[in-house]
A = this chain, B = another copy of it.
Amino acid sequence: MTHPFLDGLPDIPDELAAALAEPLIDHHVHGCFTVDVGRAAFEESLNEASPDPIPDFMTQFDSQLGFAVRRWCAPLLGLAPHATPDQYWARRAELGPVGVARALIPAAGVAEWLVDTGFSTDTLCTPTELASWSGGRTREVVRLESLAEALLADGVDADEYADALRARLADASIGGVAGAKTIAAYRCGFDIEWARPAEAAVVRALRGAGTGRLTDPTLVSFGVHEAADAGLPIQVHVGLGDRDLDLRRVDPLLLGPLLRQPAIARVPVLLLHCYPFHRAAGYLAQAFGNVHLDVGLAINHLGAGSAGLLAEALELAPFAKQLYSSDACGPPELHVLGALLWRRGMARVLGRWVRAGDWSAADAARVVRMIGAGNATRIYRS
């Protein structure tokens, strides 16, 4: 059995290759484009950190992610590996956005997508479309700040906010929502007071908050506590992201005071992305029984260099505490590359350890199954 993700790598045991080929659970993802966004916007969506146009002097194709798109997605669209950006873009235009999605998404080999629906635009597909195109299924992750903003936009009174939020989270928990996600990283950073806010403080904060973007740390913290009380696994955006976050303030080590809250210790906490703080995140995953991590998003952006990142992610965190995600958003290239690069990087890293006899092939296969799907199944009761 041959697998594209093994192309050009040293041989690995069949047992490990088979485990790598099994369906994944992508525990943190967004929708893919359903409309033609144009080449400029496409290139911008290959740059995670900058909100600006790609500078005139360069193309974002000239990056690890851009090279990975040309190497791995081009053949899925019927082109030669390493097709030029112009060839790639021309072929993409021929197929149209849904044609591209239908060509790429199934190649991810993902059986289940946990979709953060808090960031949605009319350019992104719905969870239903994603499920349909992939042949897999989807579950929703509720974004806490979006939920709070929706309540405020609905005109919920400050005195009724806590009950209303609780009711929504209870509904979510009952209604099959897989978990909750906080983007505290983007709103206030992690160096805030994480003790459960008194409800009077929440009311005061609401009165000062207005109805726009929720940035008040008291309200952010309150949302996280309420989600934990509702029994939902808590996903936390950590590290790498759009530059409107201050990377210094989203170091996972700043989450210590949150993780020490007894209420938080009762639910799984999932640190997402974590780059370049993934070693510190691995430490937290060893230090706290309920803390998990992934290196999603960064895998895509590191492209050919992502095997090194995966090796570092495998340092300190117990294997039951690691998960797979793509954090893909927009180009369906990201949905498939996340999976392909993860499989390829794991093949490279674990293959090396198995060849040298450090790990058995059986253990390597088992760890792949844990990180690829098993841990997510346990955490999200998938």
**Which of chain B's residues has its CB closest to A63's CB?**
B318
| Bound CA span A378–B71, Å | 27
Q: How far is the CB of A333 from chain B (nearest CB, A)?
A: 15
Contacts A50-B289, A305-B311, A305-B315 given: A359-B283 contact, CB under 8 Å? no
A98 proximal to B (CB < 8 A): no
| Bound CA span A82–B366, Å | 13
- Tell me if B243 and A253 are in contact (CB < 8 A): no
A286 proximal to B (CB < 8 A): yes
| Bound CA span A232–B209, Å | 43
A8 proximal to B (CB < 8 A): yes
Digitize A229-269: 1 where CB-to-B-CB distance is under 8 Å, 0 elsewhere: 00000000000101100111001011010000000000000
- Tell me if B358 and A47 are in contact (CB < 8 A): no
Q: How many A residues touch the partner, as a band?
A: 35 or more
- Tell me if A303 and B358 are in contact (CB < 8 A): yes
- Tell me if A308 and B311 are in contact (CB < 8 A): yes
Q: How far is the CB of A87 from chain B (nearest CB, A)?
A: 13
Digitize A348-376: 1 where CB-to-B-CB distance is under 8 Å, 0 elsewhere: 00000101111110110001001000000
Contacts A8-B356, A57-B320, A251-B248 given: A67-B315 contact, CB under 8 Å? no
| Bound CA span A253–B247, Å | 7
**Which of chain B's residues has its CB closest to A72's CB?**
B358
Digitize A297-341: 1 where CB-to-B-CB distance is under 8 Å, 0 elsewhere: 000011111001101101111111100000000000000000000
- Tell me if A358 and B286 are in contact (CB < 8 A): no
- Tell me if B358 and A8 are in contact (CB < 8 A): yes
- Tell me if B248 and A60 are in contact (CB < 8 A): no
Q: Name the B residues within 8 Å of A316 (CB-CB).
A: 49, 64, 240, 275, 301-302
A36 proximal to B (CB < 8 A): no
A62 proximal to B (CB < 8 A): yes
**Which of chain B's residues has its CB closest to A360's CB?**
B82
- Tell me if B378 and A57 are in contact (CB < 8 A): yes
- Tell me if A279 and B275 are in contact (CB < 8 A): yes
- Tell me if B302 and A315 are in contact (CB < 8 A): yes
| Bound CA span A183–B305, Å | 31
- Tell me if A254 and B248 are in contact (CB < 8 A): yes
| Bound CA span A273–B290, Å | 25
Contacts A253-B248, A290-B55 given: A367-B62 contact, CB under 8 Å? yes
- Tell me if A353 and B320 are in contact (CB < 8 A): no
A170 proximal to B (CB < 8 A): no
Contacts A55-B289, A248-B254 given: A319-B82 contact, CB under 8 Å? no
- Tell me if B287 and A58 are in contact (CB < 8 A): no
- Tell me if A283 and B288 are in contact (CB < 8 A): no
Question: Could you pull out 19 A-B pairs where Cβ atoms are within 8 angstroms?
Answer: A7-B357, A47-B318, A50-B288, A57-B378, A58-B321, A60-B318, A64-B314, A67-B358, A82-B360, A240-B283, A246-B256, A247-B280, A248-B254, A275-B279, A275-B316, A301-B315, A304-B353, A304-B359, A308-B311
- A residues at B contact (CB < 8 Å): 7-9, 47-50, 52-55, 57-60, 62-64, 67-68, 71, 81-82, 240, 242-243, 246-248, 251, 253-254, 256, 275-276, 279-280, 283, 286-290, 301-305, 308-309, 311-312, 314-321, 353, 355-360, 362-363, 367, 370, 378
Beyond A7-B357, A64-B315, 10 extra complex contacts between A and B, CB < 8 Å: A8-B357, A9-B356, A50-B287, A52-B288, A59-B320, A62-B319, A62-B320, A302-B316, A305-B312, A308-B312
